[in-house]
A = this chain, B = another copy of it.
Amino acid sequence: MREVHLTSFVSAKMVAERAGVSRSAVSRTFTDGASVSEETRRKVLEAADALGYHVNHLARQLRERSNIVCLIVSDVTTPIRAGMLDILTRKLQAVGKITVVLNTEGDEESVGRAMKLTLHYRADATVVLSGTPSSSLVKTALANGQEVILINRDDRLSGSENVAVDNAMAAREALFLLRRAGCERIALVTSSARTPSLVARERQFVDAGLRDGVAVSVVEAGPTAYRSGFDVARRLFARSNPPDGVFCVTDLLALGFMDAARHEFGLRIPQDLCVVGFDNIEQAGWESYQLTTFEQPLERMAGHVVDLLTRSEPVEGGNDGDAAVFEPVPVWRKSVRPLPGI
- 9-residue interface stretch from A139-147, A173-181, A192-200, A214-222: A139-147
CB neighbors of B among A228-273 (8 A)? 230, 255-256, 259-260, 262-263
Which residue in chain B gives the minimum CB-CB distance to A80? B77
CA A190 to CA B89, docked complex, whole Å: 29
- Against B, the Cβ 8 Å flags (1 = close, 0 = not) of A1-33 are 101111111100000000000000000000000
CA A246 to CA B287, docked complex, whole Å: 19
A81: chain B residues within 8 A (beta carbon): 82
Which residue in chain B gives the minimum CB-CB distance to A9? B144
Asked if A103 and B93 make an inter-chain contact with CB atoms under 8 angstroms apart, the answer reads yes
Q: How many copies of this protein are present in the complex?
A: 2
CB neighbors of B among A131-161 (8 A)? 136, 139-140, 142-145
A102 contacts B by Cβ under 8 Å:
yes
* Interface size grouping (class) on chain A: 35 or more
- 9-residue interface stretch from A48-56, A162-170, A324-332: A48-56
Set B121, B226, B317: member contacting A4, Cβ < 8 A: B317
A57 contacts B by Cβ under 8 Å:
yes
CA A143 to CA B51, docked complex, whole Å: 9
Asked if A7 and B316 make an inter-chain contact with CB atoms under 8 angstroms apart, the answer reads yes
A120 contacts B by Cβ under 8 Å:
yes
- Against B, the Cβ 8 Å flags (1 = close, 0 = not) of A51-92 are 010111111011000101000000011110111011001100
Which residue in chain B gives the minimum CB-CB distance to A105? B90
Asked if B317 and A288 make an inter-chain contact with CB atoms under 8 angstroms apart, the answer reads no
CA A259 to CA B122, docked complex, whole Å: 48
Listed residue (A3, A58, A120) with the most chain B CB atoms within 10 angstroms of its CB? A58
